[in-house]
Structure 1
C-alpha cells in the first residue's frame, strides 16, 4: 500500500507540469469552438488529467533497473480468469469466525490487489457518465480499453524500454478494472445533484463568451509569444548565411519577430494569431474598427519597452559612442525600462481582480479587445 501512496504523491508533484501540457490545448480547443469555457469544465478537465496521471503512475511504478528486469524468470502473462479468487482462498488468512484475522486479511495482498484494480477505474466510470454522458455499454467498453492499454503497457515492458515485462499481464486485472468502471457508472448517479446541468453550463458559456476575461488575454499573449520566439529562431537561421550578426542583438531578433507575428496582422487583419485562437479582435474604445494609428499607439505603449532594449543594445555596441555616454544611455534606458515594466505589472495585477478591465496601454491608445463571436 505504501508503494501506491508514494506513486500518487509522485503524480501530485508532476501534475502541475503535465497538466499545463495536456490541459491547456484542451481548454484552448474549447475556447476556439465555444468562445468560452465554464469553471466547471476547467475543474473537471484538471481533475481528469490528475486522475489519469495517478492511474498511469500506479501501473508502471516503481521502475526497476533494466539489469534486474533482464534477469527475471517470472511468467509474463496470465490468461486464466478468476485466479485472484483461488489465490484468496489459498493464501488469505481470513477466518470469518475469528475476529482477529479480519484486519490481517484486509492487509493481505490477495485482498489489496483486487480492490486496487476495482478502485483504479471507479473514477473513470464516474467521469464517463457524469461529464461525457456515456451509456452503460459505452462506459464498459471504454473502461475495458483503458484497462487493456494499461495491461499492454506492462506487457510491452514499457514500450520496449525493458527487454521483457516486469509486471504481469493479467486477464483478472482486465475483468476487475472493467467491473470498477461499471461500479463508477452506477455510483455516478449519487453525484448528479452536485454538478450543473447541461443547460446551466450552456448559459454560463453564452454569457462568458462575450466577455474578454484575463484568461483570454493571457492565452492570446502566450500564443503570440510562442510564435514570436519561433519567428525569431527562423530569422536567426535565415540571416546566418548573410553574416548580419543579428545573433549579437537578441532583442532586435525578437523585435523583428514581433513585427511579423503581431504588428503586421494587427494592422491588416485587426487580430493576431493568438487573438484569432481565442476569438477576440481589436476595436476602438467605442467598439468600432480601429485605425492604424491606434494600433501603432497600442503596441508602442504596450510593448514599446522591449524596443527600448534594442535601442540600448545598438547604442552600447557602437564604437563611436564613448564610455561615459554609453553609461548614461544605459542608465537612462534601464530606468525607463524599469518604470514601464513596473507599470505594466501593476496594471496586469489590477486586471486579475477587475473583470474586463481595460489595461493602461489600451486606455492610452483608445483600443481594447472585443469578442469576435
Structure 2
C-alpha cells in the first residue's frame, strides 16, 4: 500500500489546517499498526502558515508528484487567485496517480486545476456559492462535511477536514485503527461525509446534552432489537422529542444513527475477528446475513465478504467508493431476531 502523504503549503494557510494533517499523518502511530504514513510538507518561496509560521525542512512543490496522497488546505487568499505553481503541481500529482484531498477553501485550487469538473465536491458553506459561480462545471454540495469521489476528496470547514482525514485512515488501515486513533484524539470515531455542515444546537445543549447517556448505552446494546420507542422510553421522552434531540446532537434521525453504528461495528468485527457473517449480523443487530450484506454493501460500497478479504490481503478497501451511511425515512431499521 502506498502511504506517502504530502501537504501542500501555500502562503497564509490556516494553522489548524496545517496542524491537523501533521497530527494525524505525521506522528508515529506504530502502536496502532505495523506501518504508517510517510508525511512530508511541500511549498514554494517563503510560504508560511498563518502568515508567520514556517515549518523547517519543507520540500519544493515538485515533490508533490511523488506522493500517494496530496492534501491541499485553504488559505486566506485561496477563494481569490490561486497560485499558478501550486495549481500546476497539484494537477501534475493527480496526473501521476495521486489521491488529491482539499480542506475548506482548498477546493478552489482543485477547481482551478480542472480536477473537479463534472464531479460532486464541497467546501466551507461561506464559499460554496462562490465556488459554484466561478466554476459552474463543479457540482457543489454545500450541505455535507466531505465528499469522497474516489481519487478526489473535498471537505468543508477546518474541523470537517479532520473528519475527512480520519476517513482516509479508515480507508487505508481499516475501521479499528481509525476508531482507535479517534479515541486517542478524543474525537468521535466517525462522522460520515453526508452529515450536514450545520447542526442546529438545542438551547440546553452543552457538555451534558440530552443524549449523553443514551448514545453510549445504545452503542453497547447494538445486538439487541432496539427501536425508536425503546430509545425514547429509556430517556423518558416521546419519539418526536427524541427525534428532535437526535437531529440536534448527531445531525441524523435515530434510525440513521443506529444503522451507522451497526455498520461501523460490522467493519470492526470483519477486520478483527473470525466470526462468520451470520454471527456478525446477530452481534450488530442486523439479524440475518442477508440483511447485513444489503445494508453493508449500500453503506460501504462492497459486500462484507470481499471487504474482509481485501482488508486481510493488505489492501484496505480504498479502491471502493463509500456510499452515504443512512436509512431512508420509509425504511425500517434491521432488528435482531
TM over 0.5: no
TM-score by length of 2: 0.28
Q: Which has more helix, going by share of residues?
A: 1
Structure with the bigger RCO (C-alpha within 8 Å, sep 6+) is 1
